[in-house]
């Protein structure tokens, strides 16, 4: 086991953690390919970060579920031979859904994939999704 010093974000005291030598804390390796970095457990804004992440994942899953429901509506209109339902219900619903909520999901994913704070952009440059959608 190795000892690692971790600076707290809003205080000057240093916390000593004991971690397994197999874990890599070096920023050279970049972000984890899947999951949340375990170091979030030791910061003061862990609750804000995890709640924000859960909210964004819930939005994406909800939009995917609703789009699948709209697509099922198109299959029903075709199966029951109702072309007016397809043209005047399915197409407007899908356009509305993708223009507003699809755009929101694309912005969330782009914000996740942009490496803010790694020399490419500064941490404070991360845009607010709320102001971008308005």
Q: Name the residue with higher pLDDT: 76 or 26.
A: 76
What distance lies between CA 84 and its chain's CA centroid?
A: 37
Q: What is the pTM of this model?
A: 0.69
- Per residue, the 3-state secondary structure of 38-102, as one string, reads HHHHHCCCHHHHHHHHHHHHHHHHHHHHHHHHHHHHHHHHHHCCCHHHHHHHHHHHHHHHHHHHH
Query: Rounded to the nearest 10 degrees, how much is the dihedral formed by the CA atoms of 97, 99, 102, 105?
Result: -130
Q: Which residue has the tokens 């072309």?
A: 83
**In this predicted structure, what is the pLDDT of residue 123?**
60
pLDDT band at 36; cut points 50, 70, 90: confident
**Averaged pLDDT, 67-84:** 97
Cα separation values, 69 from 30, 43, 88, 108, 110, Å:
38, 40, 16, 22, 25
Q: Flag whether pLDDT at 56 surpasses 90.
A: yes
């Amino acid at each position: 086991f190795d000892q690692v010093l971790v600076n707290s974000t809003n205080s000057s005291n240093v916390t000593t953690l004991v971690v397994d030598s197999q874990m890599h804390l070096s920023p050279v390796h970049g972000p984890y390919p899947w999951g949340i970095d375990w170091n979030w457990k030791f910061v003061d804004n862990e609750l804000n970060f995890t709640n924000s992440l859960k909210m964004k994942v819930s939005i994406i899953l909800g939009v995917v579920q609703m789009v699948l429901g709209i697509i099922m509506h198109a299959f029903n209109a075709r199966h029951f031979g109702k072309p007016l339902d397809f043209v005047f219900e399915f197409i407007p619903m899908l356009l509305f859904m993708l223009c507003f909520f699809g755009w929101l999901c694309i912005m969330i994913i782009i914000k996740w994939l942009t490496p803010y704070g790694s020399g490419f952009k500064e941490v404070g440059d991360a845009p607010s999704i709320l102001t971008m959608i308005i």
